[in-house]
Chain A
Amino acid sequence: MTNGLEFKNLQAVPLAGMPSLSPDDFRNSVISAAGDGRRPVLYFGDREHRGIRLIAVLADDEHSRLQAFSTVFSEGESYDSLTPDIPALHLFEREFFEEYGIEPKGHPWLKPVRRGIAGTGGPGPNYGFFRLNGEDVHEVGVGPIHAGVIEPGHFRFSCLGEDVHHLEIQLGFQHRGLENLFLRHRDRPGVLLRLSESIAGDSVIGHAGAFVGAMESLGGIAVSRRALVSRVIAQELERIGVHLGDLSALAGDVAYLTGSAAFGALRTRIINATLGWCGSRFGRGLLAFGGVRSELTPGLREQIRTIIAECGESARLGADVLFGSSSVLARFEKTGIVYPETALRIGLVGPAARASGIARDVRADHPYGGYVYFPVHKMTLDAGDVFARAFIRSVEIAQSARMICEQLEALPDPGLAVPMSAPSPLAAGTLVVSLAEGWRGEIAHAAVTDTEGRLRRYKIKDPSFHNWFGLAMAVRKNGISDFPVCNKSFNLSYCGFDL
Chain B
Amino acid sequence: MFELIKLRKRHGRPVISDIFRAAVPPPFRGLPRLEEALCPEGCEACVRACPTGAVGSRPLRLDLGACVFCGDCEAVCPAGAIRFGSDHRLGATRRETLVVDSSMSAAAYAETAIATRREIHRLFGRSLKLRQVSAGGCNGCEMELAACNNVNFDMSRFGVDFVASPRHADGLVLTGPISRNMAPALRDAHLSLAEPKVVIAVGACAISGGLFAESPELDRSFLDDVPIDLFVPGCPSHPLTVIRAICQFIGRGGKRA
Enumerate chain A interface residues (CB-CB to B < 8 A).
Answer: 114-115, 117, 119-122, 144-145, 147-152, 172-178, 180-181, 184, 188, 190-191, 194-195, 198-202, 204, 258, 261-262, 264-265, 268, 275-282, 284-285, 293-294, 313-314, 317-318, 320-321, 324, 421, 493-495, 498
Tell me whether B83 is interfacial, beta carbon within 8 Å.
Answer: no
Return the contact of A122 from the options B3, B8, B181, B235 (Cβ within 8 A).
Answer: B181
Measured CA separation A320–B217 after assembly (Å): 47
Contact with A along B1-43 (1 / 0, CB 8 A): 0011011101100100000000011111100000000000000
Contact with A along B178-189 (1 / 0, CB 8 A): 011111110001
Return the contact of A265 from the options B76, B151, B211 (Cβ within 8 A).
Answer: B151
Instruction: Determine which residue in B49, B70, B214, B215 has the highest number of CB atoms from chain A within 10 A of its CB, and name it.
Output: B70
A278 & B27 in contact (Cβ 8 Å cutoff): yes
Given contacts A151-B134, A201-B139, contact A280 B150 (CB under 8 A): no
Measured CA separation A198–B132 after assembly (Å): 20
11 more A-B contacts (CB under 8 A) besides A151-B134, A190-B51? A149-B134, A173-B181, A175-B136, A176-B218, A194-B211, A198-B140, A275-B24, A279-B84, A280-B28, A281-B238, A314-B10
A149 & B215 in contact (Cβ 8 Å cutoff): no
Q: Give, as a whole number of angstroms, the nearest-CB distance from B54 to chain A.
A: 11
A279 & B218 in contact (Cβ 8 Å cutoff): no
Enumerate chain B interface residues (CB-CB to A < 8 A).
Answer: 3-4, 6-8, 10-11, 14, 24-29, 49, 51-52, 68-72, 75-76, 84, 132-147, 150-152, 162, 164-165, 176-177, 179-185, 189, 210-212, 214-218, 235-236, 238
A149 & B151 in contact (Cβ 8 Å cutoff): no
Q: Give, as a whole number of angstroms, the nearest-CB distance from A179 to chain B.
A: 10
A200 & B138 in contact (Cβ 8 Å cutoff): yes
Measured CA separation A493–B137 after assembly (Å): 11
Given contacts A120-B184, A148-B164, contact A261 B139 (CB under 8 A): no
Return the contact of B4 from the options A195, A281, A321 (Cβ within 8 A).
Answer: A321
Interface of A is mostly: loop
A317 & B146 in contact (Cβ 8 Å cutoff): no
Contacts of A421 in B (CB 8 A): 76
Instruction: Determine which residue in A181, A198, A494 has the highest number of CB atoms from chain B within 10 A of its CB, and name it.
Output: A198
Q: Give, as a whole number of angstroms, the nearest-CB distance from B147 to chain A.
A: 7
Measured CA separation A321–B28 after assembly (Å): 34
